[in-house]
Chains A and B, each alone.
Chain A
Amino acid sequence: MREIRIRFRKTGRARYISHLDLTRAMTRAVRRAGLPIWYTEGFNKHPYLTFAAPLSLGFEGLAESMDLRLLEDVPEDEIVRRLNAVLPEGLAAVSAAEPVHKAGELETARYRLTFTGELSQMAAFLAQDAILVEKRTKKGGMKPVDLKPSLAGAVYTPSQDGEGIMEVTLPCGSNETINPALIAAAYNAFVKECTGVEQAADCRVLRTGLFCGENLPFC
């Protein structure tokens, strides 16, 4: 049995596929591809698939990670080719390889956030000493989080057509995870406080990579 990690893209219409639905879509794709995948042994046998760091509904991703186990050896480029022949629009396999890192080693994710709307307060927003937001905890409560340390390395570039692009690396691991939607929410709250404008900006999220430590690609 061979463990394989597949790096895939989830873009365009596929960004509306929820994580649960993605699992089902990938299961069926693997079946259509005729890959000799390992099934779990229980009462309800199903193909064994695991994903690192689920992507929120509506976000796009360029380097998402899915692990599966193959009962027979299939060349890596053939795995990619066979999957791409049967994947729905917006999902595409990029590469397949034996996993180097364990799921627990995943630490950060890099995002490209595309802001549209009223963006004139962005410099002031980023210049704050602390950017406090409420984050939902696993237990269902809320706790305050300061986004400032995560945004320290963010690079924001206004584009000519009125959009603003932010490149930012956020914690994405077992200890701490920050959802980039919190940044857009914090910005909108900031603008509302300064100018009274509600829902000033929209933000599209593209996850460009998953990393272990500094710049070590997860998949």
Chain B
Amino acid sequence: MNPTLEQLFMKVQKPGRYTGGELNSVVKEKGAVGIRFAFCFPDIYEVGMSHLGMKLLYGLFNAQPDVWCERVFAPDVDMEALMRENGVKLFGLESRDPIDTFDFVGFTLQYELSFTAILNMLDLAGIPLRSADRGDGCPLVIAGGPCACNPEPIADFIDLFTLGEGEEVNLELFELYRRHKATGFHREDFLREAAQIEGVYVPSLYEVQYHEDGTVASVTPKDGAPEKVRKRIILDMDAAYYPDRFVVPFIDIVHDRAMSEIFRGCIRGCRFCQAGFIYRPVREKSAETINAQSHALCENTGYEEFSLSSLSTSDYTELEKLLPMLLDWAEKEQTNISLPSLRVDGFSEELAAKLNVLRRSGLTFAPEAGTQRLRDAINKNLSEPEILDTAKKAFSAGWTAVKLYFMMGLPTETLEDVAGIAELAQKIVNCYYYNPNKPKGKGVNVSVSVSCFVPKPFTPFQWEPQDTIEELEEKQRHLRVSVTTKKVSLHWHDAQVSFLEGVFARGDRRLCAVMEEAFRRGCKRDSWSEHFSLQTWLDVFRDLGLDPAFYANRRRDFSEVLPWDHLDYGVTKAFLAAENRRAHESQTTPNCRQSCSGCGAARWKGGVCTNARN
């Protein structure tokens, strides 16, 4: 053990973030493995350890006998300062070896604002930031996850991206790596061959040309790289790998519980939601598989709490079958089942009581928009009567708090829609006071949380201008004066943070220089509000001669070449454009179980696309 590291642990807050040694963490014999993989989450331990995808790939990689996958998180400010002071390089939690000696350094891209944290981690690891500066002795720096669907703003820093679901494509990469390592590894040769694997995008093999106005003119592949890189998906969810154990942290993390994935994708097609498009088609696991996997997880972790994970749990077709199966053992073993984002009205009262559906957080709704017209425009199929009915039920059952989630800055939104948020909240307050059995002496609290809409690639709104910071702040002011009761409490997201997220989300490769310069000037924890500085970013943009509003606030023409057009997530551009037009006409689109809208995901011939429709 490195004595210096041990001494650092005693000087930092929560050393459990860095010590490793948790139950179910995997330690292998160094000499016996051929591939060492550093799975990097560009955020602190408590956030990264809550992430299901990391647990899944950690288990899968370590199930390969010659692969040792370790976890790496972004150190907090105190630890980073000590590491830099003492010349300690970023290390894997399991072996405590510096990760610049590993074969692969893999980042998961969960949100755009973590991009600079990636640069900081590479820097702490002593790995050159730019792909072009890495020699054959450097680890391969790879990345995947939802933000890989527009990886252009970090294309210069990552050797290759994997698009879509990682279970198969990463194992194929390992296989290719084994072959190359056996015959002498050359980075360029490896990358050229890796680009032939479906789902692998090697940005250095694509040349981007720009028009004079800054829009993309063309993206040209070279050395045999494919014209379009298509994402990977797993079709048979019952046969897919799922870990039977999670690493159980010692310190408290954000989501400290066992989790079972019940399906991928979402049938809804809400037009603002990137996840609803890039994970298509919907593919379910059977209730039997979920039950067995869940029970094994609880037994192997000792977790006292367990939850089901998906984009919209109440859309799981076998929920009524699954829940009694789960309750059967969970009750005996004193394990609580928690179900996030559920529609309470779909449950029998008995089942709801057993599941403590309401116990923790009370009632939560995500109407997203304040008026029916705007909810239709974004294809959010939640009607006002549904919301009010459920609220009434909850109030008559004794509940006194409701949480509502909205977005501001949605395409076609007017001040009338903004005021509609306040009106809907007021109607819920009224529901409470019309209830004859309301508890005596108790008031109601309706909490309204409003985020700022950020247009994302591969959604029907990918061409839309994002509201400017000033427009968003004006709407926030309008909402504040529209709320006339103290029973409604308002919370919102910082418009400045959303603006930067909007710039990155639809950025192109020229942002790499901005990213690097901002990192040099100290931006490395943008997802933490106390470390976020928009002014630094604006200065960098100005100094490098780029306009952030070009990326965030500009309406794109349907004919424009988008920076991510050479990536293929199954959903066609023509479908997204049609959905965009429907949005402007406030036309809704049926969900995937009602009828097929021809998005393009049926090309995989699986999941909901081939299921019988009701």
- For A46, the closest partner residue in chain B by CB is B304
DSSP class of B's interface residues: helix, strand, loop or mixed? loop
Q: Is A13 positioned at the interface, with any CB of B under 8 Å from its CB?
A: yes
- For A13, the closest partner residue in chain B by CB is B21
A32: which of B9, B301, B334 is its contact (CB, 8 Å)? B301
Q: Is A17 positioned at the interface, with any CB of B under 8 Å from its CB?
A: yes
- For A29, the closest partner residue in chain B by CB is B302
- For B21, the closest partner residue in chain A by CB is A13
Tell me which residues across on chain A come within 8 A of B20, comparing CB atoms: 13
CB distance from A184 to the nearest CB of B (A): 12
Contact assessment for B10 and A17 in the assembled complex, using a CB-CB cutoff below 8 Å: no
CB distance from A167 to the nearest CB of B (A): 22
Chain B 230-256 interface residues, beta-carbon cutoff 8 Å to A: 248, 250-252
Tell me which residues across on chain A come within 8 A of B301, comparing CB atoms: 28, 32
CA gap between A83 and B356 in the complex, in Å: 31
B16: which of A17, A27, A29, A86 is its contact (CB, 8 Å)? A17
Tell me which residues across on chain B come within 8 A of A30, comparing CB atoms: 302
CA gap between A39 and B331 in the complex, in Å: 13
CA gap between A24 and B7 in the complex, in Å: 25
Tell me which residues across on chain A come within 8 A of B303, comparing CB atoms: 28
Contact assessment for A88 and B21 in the assembled complex, using a CB-CB cutoff below 8 Å: yes
Q: Is A192 positioned at the interface, with any CB of B under 8 Å from its CB?
A: no
Q: Is B15 positioned at the interface, with any CB of A under 8 Å from its CB?
A: yes
Contact assessment for A12 and B21 in the assembled complex, using a CB-CB cutoff below 8 Å: yes
Contact assessment for B299 and A32 in the assembled complex, using a CB-CB cutoff below 8 Å: yes
Instruction: Report B9-42 CB contacts with A as 1/0, cut-off 8 Å.
Output: 1100001100111110000000000000000000
Tell me which residues across on chain B come within 8 A of A90, comparing CB atoms: 21
CA gap between A14 and B15 in the complex, in Å: 11
Contact assessment for B304 and A31 in the assembled complex, using a CB-CB cutoff below 8 Å: yes
Q: Is A98 positioned at the interface, with any CB of B under 8 Å from its CB?
A: no
Q: A18-B16, A25-B250, A58-B10 are in contact. Are A86 and B21 (CB under 8 A)?
A: no
CA gap between A22 and B301 in the complex, in Å: 15
B250: which of A12, A21, A46 is its contact (CB, 8 Å)? A21
Contact assessment for B334 and A16 in the assembled complex, using a CB-CB cutoff below 8 Å: no
CA gap between A88 and B23 in the complex, in Å: 5
Chain A 159-214 interface residues, beta-carbon cutoff 8 Å to B: 202
User: B residues bordering A, Cβ < 8 Å?
Assistant: 7, 9-10, 15-16, 19-23, 248, 250-252, 299-304, 333-334
User: A residues bordering B, Cβ < 8 Å?
Assistant: 12-14, 16-18, 21-22, 24-25, 27-32, 39, 45-46, 57-58, 86-90, 202
The 8 closest A-B pairs by CB, nearest first: A28-B302, A13-B21, A32-B302, A88-B23, A31-B302, A16-B15, A21-B250, A16-B19
13 intermolecular pairs with C-beta atoms under 8 Å apart: A13-B20, A21-B250, A21-B252, A25-B248, A28-B301, A28-B304, A30-B302, A39-B334, A46-B304, A58-B9, A58-B10, A58-B15, A86-B23
